[in-house]
């Protein structure tokens, strides 16, 4: 895994359906859908980790300047490709590290069978093991949602719309397609815009949302309201 730090800019806005329709129409004129999206969208399931004191949750709510969170994720119900991810924030910029897990490995982590992780030869898997053992990180809750992604190559820009956010409450059996998921309250449509060194003006104009301020909505925090 390449552990060179590459931070990206990120902004988030809460949208209503009218906003989504308008911005989506403007983006279609200049950006392209993510080629991995089926019919322009895909389903994401993530299992988030936290410690007994809910450190990741509290740091997010408190807006701590330097923070991190771990999750395991797959797309479109396809458990043949699962990623362990670590997201880090520093001074408002974000970066992400990722390693591939097998479904068996992911299930072993969920079950608390973690002794193998130090021998995995994968630095991120080893880091999670150490933090599970010495900081008390544990699987906390499942988060499901639908994502519509757009890509604009100049500036390496990615614009996503996330909605239909659902929570597994305190459930962690995220490989089970029949695990119980419920709507995460009155969760909004979330637009995220990410870019490297610059945000092209054409994209800045497309994602304008008059009267709506940038915010720090967290799907994980929204889903933790329930447990």
For the segment 197-214, what is each residue's pLDDT rounded down to a tens digit?
A: 899 999 999 998 877 767
* Confidence class for position 1, pLDDT limits 50, 70, 90: very low
* pLDDT above 50 for 101: yes
* Confidence class for position 2, pLDDT limits 50, 70, 90: very low
pLDDT at 4: 59
Domains of the chain by residue range: 9-224
What is the value of pTM for the model shown? Answer: 0.92
* pLDDT above 60 for 3: no
* Confidence class for position 227, pLDDT limits 50, 70, 90: low
CB–CB of 142/219 below 8 Å? no
* pLDDT above 60 for 49: yes
Average pLDDT over every residue of 67-81: 96
Which among 33-37, 215-219, 222-226 has the top mean pLDDT? Answer: 33-37
CATH of domain 9-224: 3.20.100.30
Q: Which residues pair with 149 in a beta bridge?
A: 160
pLDDT at 7: 86
For the segment 34-44, what is each residue's pLDDT rounded down to a tens digit?
A: 988 888 999 99
* Confidence class for position 96, pLDDT limits 50, 70, 90: very high
Interacting residues of 22 by C-beta distance below 8 A, sequence separation 6+: none
């Amino acid at each position: 895994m390449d552990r060179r730090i590459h931070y990206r800019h990120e902004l988030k806005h809460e949208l209503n359906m009218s906003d989504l329709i308008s911005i989506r129409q403007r983006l279609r004129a200049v950006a392209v859908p993510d080629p991995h999206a089926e019919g322009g969208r895909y389903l994401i399931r993530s299992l988030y980790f936290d410690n007994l004191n809910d450190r990741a949750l509290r740091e997010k709510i408190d807006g701590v300047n330097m923070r991190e969170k771990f999750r395991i994720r797959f797309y479109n119900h396809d458990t043949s490709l699962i990623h362990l991810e670590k997201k880090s924030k520093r001074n408002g910029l974000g970066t992400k590290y990722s390693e591939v897990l097998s479904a068996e490995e992911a299930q072993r982590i969920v079950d608390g069978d973690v002794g193998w992780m130090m021998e995995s030869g994968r630095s991120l898997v080893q880091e999670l093991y150490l933090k599970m053992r010495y900081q008390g990180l544990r699987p906390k809750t499942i988060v499901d949602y639908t994502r519509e992604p757009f890509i604009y190559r100049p500036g390496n820009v990615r614009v996503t719309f996330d909605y239909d956010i659902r929570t597994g409450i305190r459930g962690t059996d995220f490989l089970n397609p029949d695990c119980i998921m419920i709507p995460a309250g009155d969760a909004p449509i979330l637009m995220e815009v990410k870019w490297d060194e610059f945000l092209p003006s054409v994209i800045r104009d497309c994602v304008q949302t008059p009267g709506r301020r940038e915010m720090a909505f967290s799907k994980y925090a929204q889903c933790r309201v329930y447990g």
